[in-house]
Structure 1
Amino acid sequence: MHIAKYNYITSFQYYQWGEKTAQARTQFLQTFRRVLEERIPEDMDVTLANLEFRVDDRLLVELEGKKKDDLKFVSNILKEITGETFDSNNVPKRRGLFGTLRAVGKVGFGVFVDIGIESPAKEVLIPLHRLRTQLAGGKDLSTREICKKYGFMNQFPVEIEVEKMLFEKGGKPKYEGKFTDDFLEQIEEYVKSGLDIVFTTGVSRQMIKKTIAKRGHTIDVPQIIRIGPLECACVCAKGTNAPGIISHIGPFLSNCRFSMIRPAQVTRYWQ
């Protein structure tokens, strides 16, 4: 019987905040495989045939199945988690694309997002005026202030749309974009919940959950949401504050980076 195949490269790029070890990479692949396999519908005869690192630490995903339509359907589900790479001349516009924040707080004119643009490699700029419009109610806040209020940090997963492609001197392309309505709605839900949220990057959801339990904070952090392959949103219970949780679990997660969103500090921007 003929077996169809479908391959793609993730825009997600593996990273480690601490010392890079082969063991950590192997553990990540094992965990990541489970995460992807859990998203494959049981009624579809599709398997994850191979998952491996590329030279640049993006991942090759190989799917196998009997029907091309099923493979395409499953690949679209998985790309919501992993994203995919695009040739620089074939970047979709006005479509939700998975990406991760880069160089947060390093420039004043906006934030950059890696969505997997290749040949040449490029990141998408979300300019400051767009950040102010989408996240600050048009108020005259700096890039750094906006990022701090929303817990944005390097490797934070986002969904954006590419709005336009421009050209630098020499003919090299550059891109500008904005956050999607779906991403903004998720942020708005965080804010309207009134609950502090701790964001984590660099460590699996399983490790975060285990550490929170060991430190006796299971009741204080009743929900841990995976928002990316190595990123989580830890929702605090009412009356629990994010800085306290970070100070209690931070020393036990040396390979993790933390940020937070405190609804009381940003509610007025969503009114």
Structure 2
Amino acid sequence: MVVLATKCYVEGDARSRALDGMGSMLDDDLGELSVEWTVGVRDDDFVSVTVEGEDATVARNLLRERWGEIPTDGRLTAGETYTGTLESWDDEGFVLDAGTRVRVPTSELGLGPGSPSQIRDRFGLVQHLPLRFVAGDADEPARLADAERDRLYEWSRGAGRVNVNSATRGEVRATVNRAGHAGDIVTVERLGLLEQSIVCAEGTDPPGLLASIGGYLPAELKCVIP
């Protein structure tokens, strides 16, 4: 079993749609391998995939590479890179969920000046967004991984984005189309199972796009303004 570093935290029909979407993605990723798989959701909302068959090892490695993995024993090795979901934030930093709570102090975010809330707003970090980090220990605190910092800074250099949680990629695409903004975006980039990033086209105003689609989505939406 591989516990993926992405959560399914919605309920009812939305949960069924999300898990159907996960099934389609697994079909795309693993369909050519000699494996059978089943999808589950742990009590802490992390998605798990049980894989069996001749190519099971290859399949598990593909899943780890695409989604990141939550250690099933909850243990993190100092200096190793993991993926956790953004659980909460306060004046002291971010708290990530990687099967165990991991605090990344403000000084170790590496995303420039400001409080954690200001940094979250500046980079459009919605709750539950998967973020890579380097585990710490008693002597060294955890920090955001260099690759994660690079990704977030790259967001701020583009044409702008609107990040969304609590919705599948298909739902976000449909919402953009329904609001009449299909021509104002480049793509919808998948960040997690229920976390998406709408990449704006040149000349599109991210706050304006957010205001237009916000009424259609029962979700948290945050802008990245270049």
- State the TM-score, normalized to the length of structure 2: 0.90
Task: Tell me, yes or no, if the aligned pair for 1:102 and 1:154 is still in contact at 8 Å.
Answer: yes
CA contact (8 A) 1:202 1:230 kept: yes
Alignment partner of 1:113 is 2:96: yes
Instruction: Assess if the C-alpha contact under 8 Å between 1:209 and 1:224 holds in 2.
Output: yes
The AA in structure 2 aligned to 1:150 is F
User: Which residue identity does 1:142 align to in structure 2?
Assistant: S
**Superposed CA RMSD:** 2.0
- Contact 2:5 2:130 (C-alpha < 8 Å) held by counterparts: no
2:78 aligns with: 93
* Structure 2 residue runs without a partner (length 5+): none
Q: 1:180 to 1:37 in 2, by over 3 A?
A: farther
Q: What is residue 15 of structure 1 aligned with on the other side? A: 9
The CA deviation at 1:82 is 5.4
Deviations 1:218-254 (A, max 9, x none): 1101211001111111111111111111111110112
Alpha-carbon distance in structure 2 between the residues aligned to 1:29 and 1:82: 18
The letter of the residue matching 1:262 is I
Larger radius of gyration: 1
Structure 2 matches for 1:74-93, cutoff 5 A? 74-79=59-64, 80-81=66-67, 83-88=69-74, 90-93=75-78
Q: Identical aligned pairs, as a percentage? A: 24
- The corresponding residue for 2:111 is 135
TM-score by length of 1: 0.76
Report the equivalent of 1:28: 18
Distance across 2 between alignment mates of 1:165 and 1:203: 37
Runs of 4+ in 1 over 4 A off after TM superposition: none
Deviation per CA, 1:47-105: give whole Å up to 9, x if none: 32x11233343333111221xxx4223212212315323424x313333312111123x
1:187-206 to 2 correspondence within 5 Å?
187-193=152-158, 195-206=159-170
Q: State the number of aligned residues.
A: 225
Structure 1 pair 56–190 and aligned structure 2 pair: CA distance change class (3 A)? closer
The unaligned stretches of length 5 or more in structure 1 are 1-6, 118-122, 167-174, 264-271
Structure 1 contact 13–58 (Cα < 8 Å) conserved: yes
Partner of 1:54: 42
